[in-house]
């Protein structure tokens, strides 16, 4: 019932934004964009309609209301994340068709604890370790989710079950949340790195970034996120000891294993060759679908599978989410809201602990709101230019303000803010309400416990204090 109420409320707010007089100095397109964004976020968050249908509504209304040029609204269709989803769908189908998924999962189960909570912790930590090897979170998610789905099948977790969602989210959040403290591991990290370098000629270093952010923010994710996943998505494996006679490796399994190893190698070295993980996944999917050429048979699936076995709903969904972020950035909605929040929230110079924490909380709050409106990869492009103004107002160093703005990444409340989560929702067919509930729960936990500890840890390093 609350879903319908929330959607009606979102629709009413959207209508008000459309008909309300626009304040002086604000372009009318900003209010139109805000109306579309509020409505679509309401549809996605409540799942009263399929997620891809919400994206179609966004694409239609955004273009009809002229919130941005069509090339901006439709930019999601040529975004790397969208094609990574396509590649992930094809590779996931190939993994299932070849039977290599069962072999990998049973090898995993043979060396892993049988309890559900132990599995969640193990998956989360393994996924986190992968972030030190594979630089792209989206690539890591595309690799992990098909394996988690096969593991869920082996354990008897049906679609939309708590157990299935828990496994996928443990892998997704495990490879993303702690990695926000590892400089090259996530897109927002590198966006902040680039913005700081271009605007202020400052250079973030791997060691300093890691030392400030991993001991509290990163470790909190490792220790407490799996516990929250296990609590909210409690389930019992149906047949964790299931075994069958081990079959010899088939030709399709061997070919797919080679394809996956090459793809993983290219993902690991993307900073060397510069090819996006999305195009690596697309290339791997093309090889999987390669038709026989005489006696040569490289592919493992006929190309007709694209028309019969691939669900294109997730691709439309991801394209809509990315388009929404592009529209918000194009109209300047995030910047306008951030500036209004700066005027509304009192940020004052202070040398005391309480005053510094108030400034820390205020800057974190502004960063969270900006991330809600523009998504996390775009948030640094708005917060970084504002950092000097915030530093002058608070009496903090510029680096303290910049590092405070990134706290929002680890406690995002909505799924659409992070493309890797969007990809996991699409590939894993997760219920958006379930994902948002988990994210909001961890955000509340972070506000109450993690942020204060991170603030205190930062002060021991000379950060988050006036006059530093």
Query: Is the pLDDT reported for residue 390 higher than 70?
Result: yes
pLDDT single digits (tens) 64-80: 999 999 999 998 898 87
The reported pLDDT for the residue numbered 154 is 84
| Average pLDDT of span 199-203 | 83
In angstroms, the CA 58 to CA 75 distance is: 13
Percent helix, strand and coil across the chain, each rounded to 5? 75, 0, 25
The band of 296, judged by pLDDT with boundaries at 50, 70 and 90, is: low
Which stretch of 188-197, 353-362, 441-450 has the lowest confidence by average pLDDT?
188-197
pLDDT level of residue 386 (50, 70, 90 thresholds): confident
pLDDT at 299 over 90: no
For the chain, the C-alpha Rg in angstroms (whole number) is: 23
CA distances from 319 to 4, 134, 312 (A): 25, 24, 11
Q: Is 296 helix (H, G, I), strand (E, B) or coil?
A: strand
Whole-number average pLDDT of the chain: 86
The pLDDT assigned to 110 comes to 74
At residue 413, does pLDDT exceed 70?
Answer: yes
Q: What is the pLDDT of residue 445?
A: 97
pLDDT, tens digit (0-9, with 9 covering 90-100), for 101-138: 777 777 777 777 778 999 999 999 999 998 887 777 88
Q: What is the mean pLDDT of residues 156-165?
A: 90
| Residue among 353, 298, 344 nearest 466 (CA) | 353
b/e code 363-381 from CB counts within 10 Å (16+ = b):
bbebbbbbbbbbbbbbbbb
Q: How many CB atoms lie within 10 A of CB 2?
A: 8
Dihedral angle of Cα 319, 325, 326, 330, to the nearest 10 degrees: 160
Mean pLDDT in residue range 336-361: 84
Say what the pLDDT of residue 255 is: 86
């Amino acid at each position: 019932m609350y879903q319908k109420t929330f959607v009606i409320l979102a629709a009413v707010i959207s209508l008000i934004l459309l008909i309300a007089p626009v304040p002086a100095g604000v372009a009318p397109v900003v209010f139109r964009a805000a109306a579309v964004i509020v409505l679509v976020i309401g549809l996605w968050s409540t799942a009263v309609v399929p997620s891809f249908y919400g994206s179609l509504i966004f694409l239609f209304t955004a273009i009809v209301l002229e919130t941005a040029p069509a090339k901006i609204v439709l930019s999601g269709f040529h975004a790397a994340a969208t094609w990574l989803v396509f590649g992930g769908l094809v590779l996931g189908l190939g993994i299932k068709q070849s039977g290599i998924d069962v072999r990998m999962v049973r090898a995993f189960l043979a060396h892993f604890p049988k309890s559900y909570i132990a599995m969640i912790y193990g998956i989360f930590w393994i996924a986190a370790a992968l972030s030190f090897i594979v630089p792209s979170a989206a690539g890591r998610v595309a690799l992990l989710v098909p394996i988690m789905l096969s593991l869920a099948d082996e354990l008897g977790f049906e679609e939309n079950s708590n157990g299935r969602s828990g496994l996928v989210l443990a892998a997704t959040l495990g490879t993303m949340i702690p990695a926000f403290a590892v400089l090259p591991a996530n897109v927002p990290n590198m966006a902040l790195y680039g913005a700081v370098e271009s605007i202020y000629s400052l250079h973030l270093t791997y060691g300093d970034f890691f030392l400030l952010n991993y001991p509290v923010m990163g470790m909190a994710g490792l220790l407490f996120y799996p516990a929250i996943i296990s609590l909210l998505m409690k389930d019992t494996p149906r047949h964790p000891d299931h075994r069958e006679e081990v079959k010899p490796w088939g030709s399709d399994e061997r070919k797919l294993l080679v394809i996956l190893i090459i793809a993983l190698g290219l993902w690991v070295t993307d900073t060397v060759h510069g090819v996006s993980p999305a195009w690596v996944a697309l290339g791997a999917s093309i090889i999987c679908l390669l038709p026989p050429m005489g006696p040569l048979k490289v592919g493992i699936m006929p190309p007709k599978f694209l028309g019969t076995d691939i669900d294109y709903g997730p691709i439309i969904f991801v394209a809509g989410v990315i388009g929404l972020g592009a529209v918000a950035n194009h109209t300047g909605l995030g910047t306008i809201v951030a500036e209004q929040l700066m005027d509304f929230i009192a940020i004052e110079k202070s040398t005391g602990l309480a005053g510094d924490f108030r400034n820390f909380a205020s800057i974190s709050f502004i960063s969270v709101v900006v991330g809600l409106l523009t998504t996390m990869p775009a948030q640094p492009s708005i917060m970084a230019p504002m950092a000097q103004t915030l530093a002058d107002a608070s009496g903090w160093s510029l680096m303290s303000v910049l590092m405070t703005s990134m706290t929002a990444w680890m406690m995002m409340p909505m799924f659409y803010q992070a493309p890797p989560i969007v990809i996991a929702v699409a590939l894993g067919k997760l219920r958006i309400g379930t994902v948002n509930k988990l994210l909001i729960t961890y955000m509340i936990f972070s506000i109450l416990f993690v942020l204060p500890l991170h603030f205190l840890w930062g002060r021991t390093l000379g950060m988050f204090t006036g006059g530093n």
